[in-house]
Structure 1
Amino acid sequence: MEMNQLNLFSSSEDATEELGQAVGCELRAGDCVVLSGQLGAGKTTLTRGLARGMAISDRVSSPSYLLCHEYSGDPPLLHLDAYFQERISSLLHDGLAERFNQAVVVVEWGEQISDWLPADRLELLLEAEVEPEKGPEEQCRRKIQLNAGGERSSQLLIAISAQLDSLGSGLSTKIWPEA
């Protein structure tokens, strides 16, 4: 069986982090996860959960200005920010890309450096549903689309989908309304 796409709603920051944890516990060395979405969409929040799912206890923060954070684990987690494409490309040229097979790689704004990344990757598009008239908790609602780029990432989607029932009530697979 193959799965290429999974569409979810996250009702809160905690639910987004919980999804990250479900993703993280399925990852192994060589896996690549690309996170896309506007500023504040929840990319670092999802990565925080992903690290927890990988049994990494370090505090996860945005790699925006440092470009890459490495977290110790088995395997290690490389958390990259490709927003500044020229700067991250320089790091990749200097050997960072050679470490991708020994780590789990999570790239925020990864569409900027897609040529450097494996084709078989899990891509997550996070979209905040901002409704200013609603309370702060309801403003944390996210539409999250997970896309598989190959056989391994398709297996990841199947495993993540199977975990959804055990995840909290903050995640749902409701049919998205047409725009």
Structure 2
Amino acid sequence: MKSISIESKTAAVTRKIGQAIGQGLRPGDVILLAGPLGAGKTTLVQGIAKGLGVMGSVMSPTFVLMRELDGRLKLYHLDLYRLEKMPEIADLGLDDYLFGEGVTVVEWADRATALWPEAHLRIDLEYGEGARGRRLRAEAHGERYRKLLDNLAAKFGDWR
């Protein structure tokens, strides 16, 4: 498993990181996000969406559980915040999204770790320095995602 970390001082930087991730995504990719409320998960997804060419605003699907957005690839944006029990999450039928032709990004992914494919990119976000500062730690599970992290490291000198 390869991992890299970065400090993001603003929401704009977090979106730029997400955009770089989105530009490198391919059909079937799965991005799992974890972190406390307000840590920047949706902000990162906004950047990922931009990198995928999604037009318009990207909002958290907390109350609808999933939003499907059109870009160069279909983006399936899931939010499991309102679900706390594995049976509830397992009954959603996520396989259509996880193994489809689009990209799946899951907020609060730590609530259903048993459901995710072995190969994925996991990003943990937490509060950093200052009111808008965030720390991101990305872990590549699988060769595909190791290459994605290598590309990110080349774009962002702050990644380590």
- What is the TM-score when the length of structure 1 is the normalising length? 0.81
Cα separation, 2, equivalents of 1:139 and 1:106: 25
- Is the 8 Å Cα contact of residues 7 and 143 (structure 1) preserved in structure 2? yes
Structure 1 residue runs of 4 or more that deviate by more than 3 Å after TM superposition: 85-88
Structure 2 residue aligned with 1:177: none
Q: Matched residue of 1:125: which SS? A: strand
Q: Which has the larger radius of gyration?
A: 1
Structure 1 residue aligned with 2:65: 67
Which residue type is aligned with residue 13 of structure 1?
A
Q: Matched residue of 2:16: which SS? A: helix
- Any idea what the Cα deviations from partners look like across 1:11-49, whole Å, max 9, x if unmatched? 101000110001000001110001110000000000000
Q: Matched residue of 2:156: which SS? A: helix
Cα separation, 2, equivalents of 1:64 and 1:143: 23
- Is the 8 Å Cα contact of residues 20 and 48 (structure 1) preserved in structure 2? yes
- Is the 8 Å Cα contact of residues 97 and 104 (structure 2) preserved in structure 1? no
* Structure 1: segments with no counterpart, 5+ residues: 131-137, 166-171, 175-179
Cα separation, 2, equivalents of 1:69 and 1:89: 18
Which residue type is aligned with residue 118 of structure 1?
P
* Structure 2: segments with no counterpart, 5+ residues: none
Structure 1 residue aligned with 2:19: 21
Displacement of 1:160 after TM fit? 1.1
Cα separation, 1, equivalents of 2:48 and 2:97: 19
How much identity, in percent, do the aligned residues show?
A: 35
Q: Matched residue of 2:77: which SS? A: strand
Structure 1 residue aligned with 2:35: 37
Structure 2 residue aligned with 1:90: 91
Say if 2:104 is the partner of 1:108.
Answer: no
Structure 2 residue aligned with 1:78: 76
Structure 2 residue aligned with 1:169: none
| Among candidates 150, 156, 159, match of residue 164 of structure 1 | 156
Displacement of 1:89 after TM fit? 2.7
Cα separation, 2, equivalents of 1:99 and 1:16: 25
- Is the 8 Å Cα contact of residues 39 and 125 (structure 2) preserved in structure 1? yes
- Is the 8 Å Cα contact of residues 78 and 105 (structure 2) preserved in structure 1? yes
- What is the TM-score when the length of structure 2 is the normalising length? 0.90
Give the paired residue count: 156
| Among candidates 133, 144, 148, match of residue 136 of structure 2 | 144
- Is the 8 Å Cα contact of residues 97 and 116 (structure 1) preserved in structure 2? no
- Any idea what the Cα deviations from partners look like across 1:61-98, whole Å, max 9, x if unmatched? 00111100100123200000122144433222xxx422
- Any idea what the Cα deviations from partners look like across 1:73-129, whole Å, max 9, x if unmatched? 23200000122144433222xxx4223221100000112122221111101010113
Cα separation, 1, equivalents of 2:6 and 2:110: 21
